[in-house]
Amino acid sequence: MKRIKTLEVRGLRGIKRRLPLDLDGRSILIYGDNGSGKSSISDAIEWFYRGRIEHLSSEEIGRNGIPALRSILLDDADQGAITIEYTEGNTDSSRTICLRKGSFESTHSNVTDDFRNFLDLSNNENLILRYRDLVPFIIAHKKDRLDHLSGIIGFSRVSEVRAVLKQTVNDLARGLKLSDFDNQISNQQQHMIEYFGHNVTTKRQFIDAVNNLMKPLGLPRKLSSLDEREIRAITRLVAKPEDAETIELQGFYRRARDTISNMNAPLATIRRDYAKYVRSFEALARDLEKISKIILDRLLREGVTLLESGAFKQDKCPLCLQPKKRSDLIEELEARIQELQHAKTEKLQLDEARSSLQDAIKKCKETAGWLLLDSHVKLAENKKLMIGIETLNKHLETYLAQLNIDIASAEKPKPVSEIAPKPRQLNSIMKFCKEKGDALKSIAEGDKRLEIHSKMLLAIQAYQQIERLKRAKQRWVSQLSSMESIYDAFVKKQSEALTNFLDQFSTDINELYEFMNPDENVGKVRLVPVQRDDELVGITMDVVFHGSLVSPPHGYLSESHLNCLGIAFFLTSAMAFNKENRFLVLDDVISSFDSGHRKRFADLINERFSDYQIILLTHEKAWFDYMHNMVKAKNWHVRTVKWDPDNGTHIDESLETLEERIERRIKGKDCDGLGNDMRRYLERVLKQVAFDLEVKVKFLYNDANEDRMCYELLTELKGKINKHAGQEMRDDQTLARLIASSFIGSKASHDSSFDPTIGDLTAFWRDIRQLERMLCCDEESCEHKSVSLKYYDNVKKTANCGCGKLSYSWKK
């Protein structure tokens, strides 16, 4: 897993110039006052990984928070950038942002598939925790909790498969219901009762019934099986050639009547579902915002298709022609499409309802089509029947046309009352067929042979139809039963996997929470899946509160306990899900903690996360000092960040580093910024000396107190020395020289017409070092190097450094 080797940010948020952090995979503790811009570091890291900054993303600021990302301190031509080098792999990259023709462009320098893959895999990792992110999961709705965790552990894939299985089960159940096999079988059985005078349930009974029917004809042989050849042989014995057409027509009218009768149930379902569809359509069409999002979604998808097809190869937006890298444009379009998904839920449901309706209508239309293809329907005497079926077909076509109306168009589908076929239309067709069939039957009744022949053939057809229907039903039932078994087993598997995960996850959260809250009557945190019917609908969070199991926690726990729970959740998530990155950014997460919780959080990080690279940012000075002391021996980096209008957010370097840079610049005769560095060095020395010698300065509020000018400190120090110090110190001219030349390094020096040469700056530096030698001990082992009244010798009346090597007469 990767740690950060070097991190450099410039021109982002509060950071104006280079802010380099050479971490070499080690942890870092960063202190900065409120407003010093330390969170610019976490914002930049978030942007590097996600291309957006969640807490800045809003309608006012702009999508992804990008407009607020690039430092406003930059000139238009300057780029903002974050560069991360890792301890392993070839995923080092710089992400830059620049302003071009009024819009922001951002690019990653690493365009390899490895890097893209790394970013994709990192996308679900828990890398950054801010104070504001502590409790949202804890106080979230149970469904949002489920969505959140499902998203992280990739349960969306499980949900997709489950939805496919469920939808298929529902389809099969609906299809089985629509086919109405039982009713169809019952119709055929009715026919047999009509022909035989009783029902038959077995093949044997059927053969006996046919033989009984034929008995009056005194035929030389009986029907012995339902084999086609046997049926043909018997039919030949019974049939008269002139009867064939009458029997065929009888069979046709019966089929037509059965077909129309069987369409009753599906047509009623179509009628009901279509009415529901129209209501949903109208409700969605009234929501203009959603409609505009649906239209926008289409446009964006078209855009992605266009760009991916390679039909538009230039690095520009095809619509506005603004320069834009093609891959970035695709990435942004996909991100926006993703954002619109939520608004599309109702549209997707509507599409699903339409598709299901279209299937049912097409099936009815197909059945009606088969009837129209029958040559008997074209007979002149059946004109009324043909018109009836064609009218029914037109109704079905109208349904389909109405379903094709686009939600984004101004048109609306017609109400069901205007387009659905009326029950009387179907009844009229059935009545026609019955009357025709009955008429033929009455003709046959006068001719015994014809009557028996007709009954026998129609009964055989009915029997065969029953057998076919039974087998077709069996195929549906078998498919439904198999799919139900698959679906049930899948739901069980999903539930087991989630429960196992939540149990383990709860154990780990609990362990971390109780580490931060030992010996308290609050704990035993448990995440529990909530099911309704067989659906997972959410995750609740239980906690034992003074002996009672309560839920949700935010109804009972104090703010700091809730925050502890939030931290425990984040850290557990990081342990569980982070597979690519071995670092965590914790940005001011202990703000609401009391001192006890702060200490225990520091212990937790120190003891349990020592194998992680931690980037810990805080504005709490006391906690920083505690943590600083703790991590000193752990090889952590420790830095302070500050902000000023010239430099923006920058690392407040240690005196040693500053000194090295000043010496290097003097040697290289590099005047750029040298005066500024010398001023900062002098300020730091003077602040320590003024503190130790109790130099009094004008009262200023809070941060302004830290912002003292060298000149003020020097003159007040000089006054103090003149009043209290002995002759030796009073006679030293270093202070006087510094007062005279302090303007060289003053903050306002760049506004002055005076342009110091390297000679001026070298002399200034010599005076600073002389002052340092005068007031600060050079012994390595000295515990307190600056001369201080804390080490005042009341006998000798001297102010001393910690080891006593530096000692000056001093009258209190």
Partner 1 sequence: MNSHVKSGNETVEEFFKGLHRLQGVDKHIADIVLDLHCKGALTHRRLANALLELREEGDNEEDKNA
- Binding residues (CB under 8 A) for partner 1: these are 150, 153-159, 161, 163-164, 167-168, 171-172, 228, 464, 468, 471-472, 475-476, 478-479, 481-483, 485-486, 489-490, 493-494, 497, 500-501, 504-505, 508, 572, 575-577, 579
The dihedrals phi and psi of 361, each to the nearest 5 degrees, come to -65, -40
The dihedrals phi and psi of 558, each to the nearest 5 degrees, come to -70, 170
CB of 153 to partner 1, least distance (A): 6
798: β partners: 793, 809
Residue from 581, 570, 572 nearest 122 by CA: 581
Q: Which is nearer to partner 1, 38 or 347 (CB)?
A: 347
Q: Which is nearer to partner 1, 373 or 704 (CB)?
A: 373
d(CA 18, CA 81): 9
CB of 487 to partner 1, least distance (A): 10
CB of 174 to partner 1, least distance (A): 11
Q: Which is nearer to partner 1, 45 or 571 (CB)?
A: 571
Please tell me whether residue 314 adopts helix, strand or coil conformation: coil
Q: Which is nearer to partner 1, 161 or 233 (CB)?
A: 161
Whether the Cβ atoms of residue 603 and residue 629 lie closer than 8 Å to each other: no
Q: Which is nearer to partner 1, 402 or 572 (CB)?
A: 572
Residues 6+ apart with CB under 8 A from 120: none
- What ranges in 374-420 are assigned the alpha helix state H? 383-403, 416-419
Structure token digits, residue 156: 């969306």
Omega of the bond leading into 552 within 30 degrees of 0 (cis): yes
CB of 232 to partner 1, least distance (A): 13
CA distances from 746 to 504, 686, 705, 715, 764 (A): 60, 14, 17, 14, 12
Q: How many CB atoms lie within 10 A of CB 91?
A: 19
CB of 497 to partner 1, least distance (A): 4
Residue from 408, 221, 433 nearest 299 by CA: 408
Q: Which is nearer to partner 1, 167 or 705 (CB)?
A: 167
Residue found by looking up tokens 């993303």 in the block: 57
CB of 605 to partner 1, least distance (A): 17
Q: Which is nearer to partner 1, 72 or 472 (CB)?
A: 472
Q: Which is nearer to partner 1, 88 or 245 (CB)?
A: 88
Which pairing describes strands 522-532 and 535-545: parallel, antiparallel, or unpaired?
antiparallel
| Sheet of 4-10, strand order | 19-22, 4-10, 80-86, 93-100, 103-108
CB of 578 to partner 1, least distance (A): 8
Residues 6+ apart with CB under 8 A from 440: 246, 249, 250, 253, 454
Chain length of the chain: 812
d(CA 576, CA 220): 85
CB of 171 to partner 1, least distance (A): 6
Q: Which is nearer to partner 1, 160 or 438 (CB)?
A: 160
The dihedrals phi and psi of 528, each to the nearest 5 degrees, come to -125, 125
CB of 155 to partner 1, least distance (A): 4
Whether the Cβ atoms of residue 129 and residue 585 lie closer than 8 Å to each other: yes
Residue from 620, 565, 617 nearest 598 by CA: 620
Q: Which is nearer to partner 1, 387 or 489 (CB)?
A: 489
Residues 6+ apart with CB under 8 A from 701: none
CB of 482 to partner 1, least distance (A): 4
CB of 203 to partner 1, least distance (A): 15
Q: Which is nearer to partner 1, 125 or 248 (CB)?
A: 125
